[in-house]
Structure 1
Amino acid sequence: MSWQPEIDELAYRKQLAAQLGGPDKVKRHKDAGKLTVRERIDAIADAGSFREVGALTGSGQYDSNGRLVGLTPANLVMGRAKVDGRPVVLVGDDFTVRGGANDGAVGEKLIHAEKMAHDLRLPMVRLVDGTGGGGSVRNIENKGYTNIPTMKVWQHVVENMSLVPVVSLALGSVAGMGAARVAASHYSVMVKGTAQLFNAGPPVVARIGQVLEKNELGGSQIHTRNGVVDDEVASEEEAFARARRFLSYLPGSVHELPPRVEPTDDPARRDEWLLSAIPRDSRSVYKVRPIVETLVDQGSFFEMGRHWGRAIVTGLARVDGWPVAVVASDPYHYGGGWDGPTAEKFIRFVDLAEAFHLPVINMVDIAGFQIGLEAEKAGTMRYGVRALAAVYQATTPWCSVILRRAYGVAAAGHQHMGRFNFRYAWPSGNWGSLPIEGGLEVAYKAEIEGADDPVQKRAEIEQRVRSLTSPFRSAEAFVVEDIIDPRDTRSLLCEFANLAAPLREPGVRKFGIRP
């Protein structure tokens, strides 16, 4: 009279599902250097923490007596798990079943997973390997009709971007909707060499006359340089480690605050080399990453998007244990001049900080927007104005440190001028509407051209004007609040982080974040 037969069938069905696409396809998958979906889940989740949802989903094969004789499992495995002790929703594509295409109720499982993350207010981690719900051509014959693309899951994807941290790892060839799921993330990673991302893959692209291998068409060397994907790594294990580290800086949802860790670095630490970190020659470049790494808690800087929008460096860090978002100008790329991709990178990062209540530290050395014909054709000003809007929409606490230059409209967005911000300048700081070098010929054109020696006259005027550009002159007029010894910067940033912490307020922001 017991229900043991049904329990036995339950175990049998789970056993069939655990075989994934079958031994041959699993072997082919692993021979390509990739882990199976269940191995991936075991690798990223805390041991024993994964609680699967929808384990029985798939297409059953039955004999004439209605007995189950085989099962093609759904090629999406999902459920709840813990990552470093914190609950998440974990979703993984199974490429061994129909290459991750829409078979076995994948679409409904995707929707269920996104709803689960939304309603439980849990971070979403996607292990993407396939088209991930877009369907395959074989479905046309199986169904006898074609579908109009609807992306029913997308409402939930967009809502989650403004509610919970979303991480996507591209672990194989992802196309169509799978590619869109990777891009619709707060942080995304590709495995170099084994992961590719396409609007459409090589067979489709060949029809327009472009015969390309997978990595040529959509490898990480393309998408981590154009901003579709944030970072590339050498292995799946490294991708899992980066996902765990990214999540460690963020709250579980916007309804919580980012967690502090016990500080281990002296907030009063002074590094002598900072005194000479900025060259006296304004034409000389310097490396900004060592400056960032020195000022934040040691070992805490987690850079994001290193290979695109390269006029700025962006990343998460801790200051006296508090999570913060760090933006730093990089003079190694076009002298720190902003182009469209840099502005897009800045917007996306500031929106991330605003959504998840991270105070912003902005380390400024901005020569302005890029100039010249190509910059004008590229619509740089439009992207730049959107970046300014992101600053003026942000309400999170903000601290600017002017390391060197602050010129033009681009520099005008180094902080929101309508509210209180912390702001410090190093003695190397210089600023203005435009650099003196570019403005003398315009402002003093008649005087220079009318001189007996125009070259000498220009030099005299430049010397006269430069004598007025000392940051101390600006400090006298309270144009800049404080000029500081660079070695004192860390203690001031620690003060900022501790004063900002009580000001952070959980909740949904007044505007949504966009991928």
Structure 2
Amino acid sequence: MPSKPASASASAESGKSTATERLSQVAGHVAGSQDTSPPESETRGKGRRRSKSSRTAGPPADYSDVLGNLQKLRTIAHTPDVNNRGYVRQKSEGKLWVRERLDQLLDKDSFREIGSASGFVEWRQTGPRDEEPVGFTPTNNLQGFGLLGGRKIILTADDYSIRAGHADGAISDKTVYTEKLAIALHLPIIKLTDGSSGGGSVTSIKKFGWSYVPGVPGFIEAINGLNMGIPNLAAVLGPAIGIGAARAVACHFSVMAGDIGSLFNAGPQVVELATFEEGLSLRDLGGPAIHCTNGTIDNLAANEAECFDQLRTVLSFLPDCGHSKLPPIIQSRDPISRTNEELRTIIPRKKTRMYDAKAIIRIVVDRGSWFEIGALWGRTAIVGLARLGGHPVGVISLNCEVNAGALDAGGAQKITRHLKLCDVMNLPVVQFVDVPGYAIGTVAEKQATMRWGVELAKAYLSTTVPLFNILTRRVYGVAGGVMVACRDPMMRVAWPSGEWGSLPLDGGIEVGHRWQLKQAEAEAEGKKQELYTRLEDEYRRLMNPIRTANAFGVEEIIDPAQTRRIAAEWTIHV
């Protein structure tokens, strides 16, 4: 048999080599799509180039050149540069890297990134029409889909290691896109804030060559989502600055990591030049001791892991969209028929003695379901989320252990905020009412208690969420009337310990019988006290709650031990 010409043999070998190389490229791409941890030689975008003969043959039919370059960019983005100054700073401050946060928060392997190749690339030309990346800085804000407790969510997370989250390291269209996506798909959105979330930096002027009039990209969409009942939940996992701070505070729920979190309009250096306050640390300026106690941030967590736990818990009570879906119901192992005899003695017979209002909540709701919101601020009020018979509910109570339960400006603000949350999320509200009225005195007046009390009244009267009132003890004044008489028909029951009226007897007797008491004092020593005691005894007798029920002034007086069953039946019905 005649032998093949040498040139033909070489051509065959070359074709075989090209085919093998393309197959290797495709195999590498398929493997890479499942594993973003390639050999060290490829981690910084210096992968193997195609041979000269392959390049001159034209682009590969399988687009492996494009896919290969994409994989290089994704590999760089997924591989932390341990020598990068920003990454070193992140770790030295005890913070997780942004992708480590995603791994800890989301269900395992559930994150699907949006804009995985977005960033700033340095390209090298390898042919007339070919090029390859030799350097890549990803954008400093990650977006994507993920699962949280099995539920699909949208997530946006700042990467503080790249330009501290400033605009010159971001692409604002990504942030705006995810806000729009959450609205379009009716999906909750989680925001992990660490930096300015695309906020401005003066370096942008130098970069663009001109100074722009500031805007708030994505903020309008975020507010639209809030008003639609798209759950917006935020964790402050570092310094939240400017628009980053605003995005976190605007959310339905926010939590700050106590060991690393802070929040402010401008950082210490800007503050020093503007207000001459020198030597402020991030925590001095806006740490948890400030913003978790003034209502700017809802809750405090010990660390990042606890922040993630709180986000999971809050989301478990909320629907994907309050305008179109109902809150999730779970199977409860705690029977609604459970009686609680300890509730019969939890309210002291002596009117001046206090009790633990949170204990009542924990006893009545499903065991282990109580989650308090805003425990460190507005402490005259108690609000949170819980379940009754597996159904999510909002809970509101007054706290008689703080200011004797008189509702101050902070407490009014907290209840107002919670009412609006429950209203937009379709969560019925169970209220435990023991309120002697709005706070009084010079401190209360300076805090604009009446202003915030009126705002609370407007919230009660403008929301439509179903309310169930349990009158545990006092219901007095405008504050009491606002809380229990804001629905028609009113849904309420009273405990035997209930008392109510326009004014508490303490102070009310002095006002209503001032002239008689003054005359008695003038007649003889001890006469005033004798008259006061006689009047108080008479009023106490007439304030027997059964007399109110006789007149249908209260719909029903119940055995406190049966409170759980009654409240749960109402919740399940509505």
Asked if 1 retains the 8 angstrom alpha-carbon contact of 2:388 and 2:568, the reply is yes
Asked if 2 retains the 8 angstrom alpha-carbon contact of 1:297 and 1:317, the reply is yes
Asked if 2 retains the 8 angstrom alpha-carbon contact of 1:21 and 1:97, the reply is no
2:277 is matched by which residue type in structure 1? Q
1:173-209 deviations in Å (ceiling 9; x for gaps): 1110111011011110100020110111111111222
CA distance in 1 between partners of 2:75 and 2:216 (Å): 31
CA distance in 1 between partners of 2:123 and 2:441 (Å): 69
2:293 is matched by which residue type in structure 1? R
CA distance in 2 between partners of 1:22 and 1:72 (Å): 14
Q: Please tell me whether residue 232 in structure 1 is matched to residue 300 in structure 2.
A: yes
1:68: Cα distance to partner? 2.5
1:132-184 deviations in Å (ceiling 9; x for gaps): 11122222222222222210311101101112011000001111011101101
Task: Give the structure 2 partner of residue 217 of structure 1.
Answer: 285
3-state secondary structure, aligned to 2:349: coil
2:207 is matched by which residue type in structure 1? N
CA distance in 1 between partners of 2:380 and 2:506 (Å): 21
1:291-335 deviations in Å (ceiling 9; x for gaps): 100100000011111011111111110001111000111111101
Task: Give the structure 2 partner of residue 17 of structure 1.
Answer: 77
Asked if 2 retains the 8 angstrom alpha-carbon contact of 1:57 and 1:104, the reply is no
Q: Find the partner of 1:420 among 475, 489, 496.
A: 489
3-state secondary structure, aligned to 1:480: coil
Task: Give the structure 2 partner of residue 449 of structure 1.
Answer: 518
Q: Segments of 4+ in structure 1 off by > 6 A?
A: none
Task: Give the structure 1 partner of residue 427 of structure 2.
Answer: 358
Q: Find the partner of 1:329 among 377, 384, 398.
A: 398
Asked if 2 retains the 8 angstrom alpha-carbon contact of 1:339 and 1:369, the reply is yes
1:216 is matched by which residue type in structure 2? D
Task: Give the structure 2 partner of residue 305 of structure 1.
Answer: 374
CA distance in 2 between partners of 1:398 and 1:107 (Å): 41
Task: Give the structure 1 partner of residue 414 of structure 2.
Answer: 345
Task: Give the structure 1 partner of residue 210 of structure 2.
Answer: 145
1:22: Cα distance to partner? 5.7
* Higher normalized contact order (CA 8 Å, seq sep 6+, divided by chain length): 1
Asked if 2 retains the 8 angstrom alpha-carbon contact of 1:353 and 1:360, the reply is yes
CA distance in 2 between partners of 1:473 and 1:357 (Å): 36
1:209 is matched by which residue type in structure 2? F
Asked if 2 retains the 8 angstrom alpha-carbon contact of 1:20 and 1:94, the reply is no
Q: Report the TM-score when normalising by structure 2.
A: 0.85
Q: For 1:241-320, what aligned pairs fall within 5 Å after superposition?
A: 241-254=309-322, 255-320=324-389
Q: Please tell me whether residue 34 in structure 1 is matched to residue 95 in structure 2.
A: yes
1:21: Cα distance to partner? 6.2
3-state secondary structure, aligned to 2:94: coil
Asked if 2 retains the 8 angstrom alpha-carbon contact of 1:391 and 1:416, the reply is no
1:213-243 deviations in Å (ceiling 9; x for gaps): 1111111111111001011111111111110
Task: Give the structure 1 partner of residue 3 of structure 2.
Answer: none
| Pair 1:134–1:20, CA change in 2 (3 A) | farther
CA distance in 1 between partners of 2:394 and 2:513 (Å): 42
Asked if 1 retains the 8 angstrom alpha-carbon contact of 2:430 and 2:467, the reply is yes
1:40-88 deviations in Å (ceiling 9; x for gaps): 1111111121110011111112347664221111000001111111111
Asked if 2 retains the 8 angstrom alpha-carbon contact of 1:305 and 1:314, the reply is yes
- Determine which structure has the larger helix proportion and give its number: 2
1:416: Cα distance to partner? 4.2
Q: Please tell me whether residue 370 in structure 1 is matched to residue 439 in structure 2.
A: yes
1:421-466 deviations in Å (ceiling 9; x for gaps): 3211111111111111111122111111122222222222222222
Asked if 2 retains the 8 angstrom alpha-carbon contact of 1:369 and 1:380, the reply is yes
Task: Give the structure 1 partner of residue 237 of structure 2.
Answer: 171
Task: Give the structure 1 partner of residue 155 of structure 2.
Answer: 90
1:418: Cα distance to partner? 4.5
CA distance in 1 between partners of 2:389 and 2:96 (Å): 38
CA distance in 2 between partners of 1:415 and 1:23 (Å): 61
3-state secondary structure, aligned to 2:191: strand
Q: Please tell me whether residue 51 in structure 1 is matched to residue 112 in structure 2.
A: yes
Q: For 1:199-214, what aligned pairs fall within 5 Å after superposition?
A: 199-207=265-273, 208-211=275-278, 212-214=280-282
CA distance in 1 between partners of 2:83 and 2:374 (Å): 38
Q: Please tell me whether residue 62 in structure 1 is matched to residue 123 in structure 2.
A: yes
Asked if 2 retains the 8 angstrom alpha-carbon contact of 1:74 and 1:103, the reply is no
Q: Please tell me whether residue 458 in structure 1 is matched to residue 532 in structure 2.
A: yes
CA distance in 2 between partners of 1:284 and 1:252 (Å): 43
1:130 is matched by which residue type in structure 2? G
CA distance in 1 between partners of 2:325 and 2:269 (Å): 46
CA distance in 2 between partners of 1:312 and 1:381 (Å): 16
Q: Report the TM-score when normalising by structure 1.
A: 0.95
Task: Give the structure 1 partner of residue 164 of structure 2.
Answer: 99
1:253: Cα distance to partner? 0.6
Task: Give the structure 1 partner of residue 173 of structure 2.
Answer: 108
Asked if 1 retains the 8 angstrom alpha-carbon contact of 2:327 and 2:425, the reply is yes
1:116-147 deviations in Å (ceiling 9; x for gaps): 10111000100110001112222222222222
Asked if 1 retains the 8 angstrom alpha-carbon contact of 2:169 and 2:198, the reply is no
| Pair 1:297–1:148, CA change in 2 (3 A) | same
Q: Find the partner of 1:476 among 550, 556, 569.
A: 550
| Pair 1:418–1:364, CA change in 2 (3 A) | closer
1:499: Cα distance to partner? 1.2
Task: Give the structure 1 partner of residue 17 of structure 2.
Answer: none
3-state secondary structure, aligned to 1:210: coil
Asked if 2 retains the 8 angstrom alpha-carbon contact of 1:74 and 1:105, the reply is yes
3-state secondary structure, aligned to 2:542: coil
The two structures, once aligned, show a CA RMSD in angstroms of 1.4
* Sequence identity (%): 37
CA distance in 1 between partners of 2:473 and 2:487 (Å): 23
1:8 is matched by which residue type in structure 2? G
Q: For 1:358-437, what aligned pairs fall within 5 Å after superposition?
A: 358-437=427-506
1:479 is matched by which residue type in structure 2? G
Asked if 2 retains the 8 angstrom alpha-carbon contact of 1:392 and 1:416, the reply is no
**More displaced 10-residue stretch of structure 1: 23-32 or 464-473:** 23-32
Q: Please tell me whether residue 180 in structure 1 is matched to residue 236 in structure 2.
A: no
CA distance in 2 between partners of 1:244 and 1:143 (Å): 41
Asked if 1 retains the 8 angstrom alpha-carbon contact of 2:493 and 2:556, the reply is yes
Asked if 1 retains the 8 angstrom alpha-carbon contact of 2:107 and 2:146, the reply is yes
CA distance in 1 between partners of 2:162 and 2:295 (Å): 30
3-state secondary structure, aligned to 2:330: coil
CA distance in 1 between partners of 2:212 and 2:410 (Å): 35
Asked if 2 retains the 8 angstrom alpha-carbon contact of 1:20 and 1:73, the reply is no
Asked if 1 retains the 8 angstrom alpha-carbon contact of 2:256 and 2:299, the reply is yes
3-state secondary structure, aligned to 1:172: strand
3-state secondary structure, aligned to 2:483: coil
CA distance in 1 between partners of 2:486 and 2:70 (Å): 63
1:223 is matched by which residue type in structure 2? H
1:128 is matched by which residue type in structure 2? T
1:5 is matched by which residue type in structure 2? D
Asked if 2 retains the 8 angstrom alpha-carbon contact of 1:57 and 1:105, the reply is no
CA distance in 2 between partners of 1:226 and 1:107 (Å): 30
Q: For 1:183-202, what aligned pairs fall within 5 Å after superposition?
A: 183-202=249-268
CA distance in 2 between partners of 1:377 and 1:232 (Å): 27
1:13 is matched by which residue type in structure 2? L
3-state secondary structure, aligned to 2:430: strand
CA distance in 1 between partners of 2:83 and 2:103 (Å): 19
1:203 is matched by which residue type in structure 2? Q
